[in-house]
Amino acid sequence: MSLALSIVYLFAAVSFIYGLKLLGHPETAKRGNTIAATGMIVAILGTLVLHELTVSPFVYTLIGIAILLGTIIGWVIAIKVEMTKMPELVSLFNGFGGASAVLIGLVEFGNNIGNTSQMATIVAAIFIGGTTFSGSMIAWAKLNGRMWKDIRLPKYNLINNVVLLGLLTFAVFIVLYASDNSIYAYLLMLVALLYGVLLVIPIGGADMPVVISLLNSLTGIAAAITGVLYGNMVMLIGGILVGSAGLILTFAMCEAMNRSLGNVIFGAFGDGGASAEHAHHATSGVIKKTTVSDVAILMNYSERIIIVPGYGLAVAQAQHAIHELEQILESRGIEIKYAIHPVAGRMPGHMNVLLAETNVEYDKLAEMEDVNPEFATTDVVLVVGANDVVNPAAHNDPASPIYGMPILDVENAKQIIVNKRSMKPGYAGIENELFYNQKTSMLFGDAKSVIQELITELKGM
């Protein structure tokens, strides 16, 4: 490798690391993303111009066309994607990363006969890439609503683990004894694709943020493996950063869901959500309905209000309306905060990104552990489209699928207003005890329409 190319790769690696650091705060995240993307562009151009490639001009033309098409498609998708579709886009990106690793592994399989270490790298790329691709596609289908029902084979945990063990054994066999037969590489790919499907199809809705962060980590690992294969430090460092960041996020999501990583890896995804049909908690009490006028009066004479956003807010595209409501209330001397649960929405950080789009001040976004002690001194909590993350069954009902999951303790507030379209259960598919609480009033309707009506009522006071 030339000195110039080494400098280019060093610049790219530093850009990745610095960009990732900036992604740690909403105010600098956009700049961090731009810096990291610039580093990747420089690395790609440096490789094409400075690397000693012995290929025909036609190959360069194909590479240029591929880069151009990929750039255009990615740009258009990113510009047009709605915030409610962002988790699906993340799943697709994860899947494409895995698919790239598989294709690289298949291409290089026949070029490293007799080299055990290189063959192990290639097999790992096919194995992890295939699992990531098919798993991400299933996650995309679930998030998109195309696969709305969880599919659970009898003894699916046992089946998944047997397939995983067989896959690992087959991979070792290929590395040691069958590196000269490309048919085995394709068989490995097919089994890896099967395992990815089996891994994700039984997942309950409440576990989806954990799934996305884990698949993101696997994509990074697959990229790092291809970096090892080609001795490319940029691919290696980029993959390690994505893989480690995804793994850290997976640990954080597991903690937020009160799940262990071992429980996640060995096929117990969705056990909670899956048992919803036979573990409904026997709720008791009466549902109290309220009106926009009553809620407006209650809010107008409050001193402290906490807003709990959920996926329903994103679906209704009500983020701008909720920000306007916040501004009106704050102009009247009312203290406003947003309580953010780590797994609210369909991916980690979904609510933070949604509210950042409307320029909500970042210091108003309170994390669960910080805001929970404040509910007891809060006059009104407005829950907009959130469900499972505020369900007291997580504390009170050992038979509940979400029992033990840390939640936002909104039940401790003086008054609770819950905005939902209907009494339909949340993503985990279970009843919510909060709706039957004596302090809770249900404000039914589309979040955007209801909040706009609230704004109109408040302006008239």
Quote the crossing angle between the two packed helices 447-459 and 319-331, to the nearest 10°. Answer: 20
Catalytic residue among 150, 207, 271, 388: 388
The number of C-alpha atoms within 13 Å of 110 and in the hemisphere containing its C-beta is 5
Instruction: Give the residue among 349, 120, 374 at the shortest CA–CA distance from 216.
Output: 349
Residue 422 contacts residue 458 (beta carbons within 8 Å): no
CA angle at residue 350 from 387 to 246, to 5 degrees? Answer: 115
Q: Distance (Å, rounded) from C-alpha 309 to C-alpha 339?
A: 7
Catalytic-residue membership of 388: yes
Residue 415 contacts residue 379 (beta carbons within 8 Å): yes
**Phi, psi (degrees; rounded to nearest 5) at 305:** -130, 135
36 burial via Cβ count (<10 Å: 0-12, 13-18, 19+): buried
Which tokens in the block code for residue 338?
């947003």
Instruction: Give the residue among 246, 39, 274, 25 at the shortest CA–CA distance from 128.
Output: 246
**Phi, psi (degrees; rounded to nearest 5) at 431:** -65, 150
- Helix (H), strand (E) at residue 310: none
Return the active site residues.
388
